[in-house]
A and B are shown apart, each in its own frame.
Chain A
Amino acid sequence: MSSMENRKQKNPSGRRNYIYLTSVMAITDFKIKYDNSVLGYFWSLLKPLLMFGTLYLVFSVFIRWEIKNYKLYLLLGIILWNFFSEVTLNSMVLLESKASIIKKIYFPRWIIVIASSLTSLLTLLLNIVVFFIFFIFSGARFRASALFLVVYLAELYILVVGIALLLCALYPKFRDIHHIWEVFVQLGFWATPIVYPISIVPAKYHTLIFLNPVARIIQSSRDALIGPASESLGFTNHIIIICFSACLFVAGLAMFNKLSRSFAEVL
């Protein structure tokens, strides 16, 4: 027994323990966030649903867009955008809430960012389930292209984590990027076709709007689920998004690893 014990220690399965730590951290955050209960999750749905309700009231009763299934159109946009804003904004608060741990215990710091993004991903998936409940009740028809949603979500996740890593790494040095990013996210919300259809935007601005990869992902997801497919967002479009996201992710991780070495001192 003792020889086995020794061998284990000489060859510590470090990587695997890090994976375990990441999952424990994500689940712990999730439990705390939703107060360890199912109702806790539903309570957290109130905010996006109220937002949805307000926007729906304004843009479907006061002003009328000519969009089929506007309810679904709006809800999916809000859910995806909320994921983006939640993960990127949280990434900057994270370090302060985990400062005491960072100052005393060593573990690769990226675990904190990844764990928090996984917590948000879990929430996103639950929200998508809620979306599908709306979907069924609104009488929309499933189509085969809906399966592409999985690909789009993967794109979104990698993109968002890349941005989160960058922001988190810079935060201790430039603490006001939190406020700047907050404004930026607010701006992005209205510069992205979430509440309005892309068709009301003059065509010359389309390129500008679709410079934002999140706008492309949201638009494509809606095309896939609700339709009709817009001609501008084809297959190559997603190859570009995937490459862009992957580059951002790698750059973010590299910068994070470099800057995170001094986290224990600057926090």
Chain B
Amino acid sequence: MIALEGVTKIFRLPHDRKATLRQRFVSILQKSTYEELYALRDINLKINDGEFLGIIGKNGAGKSTLLKIIARVLEPTTGKVSVNGNIAPFLELGVGFQWELTVKNNIFFYGALLGMSRREIERRYDWIIDFSGLERFVDTKLKNLSSGMQVRLGFSITVSVESPILLVDEVLAVGDIDFHQKCYNCFENFRKNGRTILFVSHDLKPIEQFCDRVILLENGAIKKQGNPKDILSIYCEKNPKHVVVEAAD
């Protein structure tokens, strides 16, 4: 279970960031000024085990910040976050990739980064290779793979983490239709296995298809939450452009 109580995140954006001793010394008499940006305002949220929660909202609404706070990458300014269980962060595919190493080495490195133990990685190794379709390239350096292959590898390693909670942030923006289908099948499986999934997407189709509940973020606050159909219709009414773009797709 994930519970957020009164979580607020304020980013302080200094007008002129003083990142060196020199700058601090030179401007010792100047007051440092900054803008405060409320990325999240007083978020209260409970996510039950096995729930598939969709998070939608415009750019800058706080979706990614919310996931990062749950993933412990960012600390909330005020409020409490409690997470029961391991988290597999799906915030970006292949962030820890080492371009100078082989596919095999990368599986172990990235797997460890995501919190897997050696034994777990060894157990999942064949599956990862198989799922990413890279049997022939195990000993190839990562930099020599095509970008599509790199994405598939990143995805395969991440989904093989057997953590009860998954955070998915727009990872499906890349890849072809085939790959999307593979991803959706994966998510479907996760849901059947009772894993909790938090899903951020601008593509509303999968949100409608998979989610049990959707929350709509606006300016860092939860504007509305409820079942996907209702929320999506509210969201589309407000952003008629979005519908057009979707249709053009």
Interface-centre pick from A13, A25, A176 (highest chain B CB count, 10 A): A176
Complexed CA–CA distance, A20 and B111 (Å): 10
Chain B, residue nearest A176 (CB): B20
Chain B, residue nearest A24 (CB): B112
Selected interface stretch from A65-73, A118-126, A154-162, A167-175: A167-175
Of residues 70 through 121 on chain B, the ones whose CB sits less than 8 Å from some CB of chain A are 71-75, 85-87, 89, 91-92, 95-96, 98, 100-101, 105, 108-109, 112-118
B164 within 8 A of A: yes
The answer to whether A107 touches B101 (Cβ under 8 A) is: no
The answer to whether B91 touches A20 (Cβ under 8 A) is: no
Instruction: List the A side residues contacting B24 at CB < 8 Å.
Output: 174
Complexed CA–CA distance, A20 and B113 (Å): 9
Chain A, residue nearest B71 (CB): A106
The answer to whether B164 touches A101 (Cβ under 8 A) is: no
Instruction: List the A side residues contacting B95 at CB < 8 Å.
Output: 100-101, 103-105
Which range contains the number of B residues in contact with the other chain?
Answer: 35 or more
The answer to whether B21 touches A176 (Cβ under 8 A) is: yes
Please name 19 further chain A to chain B contacts, defined as beta carbons within 8 Å, in addition to the given A36-B101, A100-B96, A172-B19, sorted by A numbering: A12-B86, A20-B118, A21-B113, A24-B108, A24-B109, A25-B112, A32-B100, A100-B95, A102-B73, A104-B73, A104-B91, A105-B89, A106-B71, A106-B73, A174-B24, A261-B75, A264-B68, A264-B74, A265-B11
B192 within 8 A of A: no
Complexed CA–CA distance, A105 and B167 (Å): 11
Residue pairs across A and B with CB atoms within 8 Å: the count is: 88
Instruction: List the B side residues contacting A177 at CB < 8 Å.
Output: 21
Chain B, residue nearest A100 (CB): B95
A9 within 8 A of B: yes
Q: How far is the CB of B162 from chain A (nearest CB, A)?
A: 7
Instruction: List the A side residues contacting B22 at CB < 8 Å.
Output: 176
8 contacts between A and B (CB under 8 A): A5-B162, A17-B112, A21-B113, A102-B73, A174-B19, A261-B75, A262-B75, A264-B73
Q: CB within 8 Å of A: which residues of B? A: 11, 19-22, 24, 68, 71-75, 85-87, 89, 91-92, 95-96, 98, 100-101, 105, 108-109, 112-118, 162-164
Complexed CA–CA distance, A266 and B34 (Å): 14
Q: How far is the CB of A124 from chain B (nearest CB, A)?
A: 23
A180 within 8 A of B: yes
Instruction: List the B side residues contacting A265 at CB < 8 Å.
Output: 11, 74
Interface-centre pick from B68, B75, B98, B117 (highest chain A CB count, 10 A): B117
Q: Mark A170-203, 1 if CB is under 8 A from B, else 0.
A: 0011111100100000000000000000000000
The answer to whether A107 touches B75 (Cβ under 8 A) is: no
With A24-B108, A31-B105 as contacts: A105 and B21 at CB distance below 8 Å: no
Complexed CA–CA distance, A10 and B1 (Å): 12
Instruction: List the A side residues contacting B86 at CB < 8 Å.
Output: 9, 12
The answer to whether B163 touches A9 (Cβ under 8 A) is: yes
Complexed CA–CA distance, A9 and B174 (Å): 30
Instruction: List the A side residues contacting B11 at CB < 8 Å.
Output: 265
A16 within 8 A of B: yes
Tell which of A21, A28, A104 touches B101, judged by Cβ atoms closer than 8 Å.
A28
Complexed CA–CA distance, A180 and B21 (Å): 10
Of residues 11 through 56 on chain A, the ones whose CB sits less than 8 Å from some CB of chain B are 12-14, 16-17, 20-21, 24-25, 28, 31-32, 35-36
Interface-centre pick from B68, B100, B112 (highest chain A CB count, 10 A): B112
Interface-centre pick from A10, A16, A24 (highest chain B CB count, 10 A): A24
The answer to whether B113 touches A105 (Cβ under 8 A) is: yes
Complexed CA–CA distance, A100 and B113 (Å): 13
With A9-B162, A28-B109, A31-B105 as contacts: A104 and B89 at CB distance below 8 Å: yes
With A105-B91, A176-B22 as contacts: A31 and B112 at CB distance below 8 Å: no
The answer to whether B96 touches A105 (Cβ under 8 A) is: yes
Complexed CA–CA distance, A24 and B91 (Å): 22
Complexed CA–CA distance, A122 and B85 (Å): 35
Complexed CA–CA distance, A18 and B194 (Å): 26
Instruction: List the B side residues contacting A266 at CB < 8 Å.
Output: 19
Complexed CA–CA distance, A175 and B112 (Å): 30
Instruction: List the A side residues contacting B87 at CB < 8 Å.
Output: 106
The answer to whether A17 touches B115 (Cβ under 8 A) is: yes
Q: How far is the CB of B66 from chain A (nearest CB, A)?
A: 14
Tell which of B92, B108, B163, B164 touches A104, judged by Cβ atoms closer than 8 Å.
B92
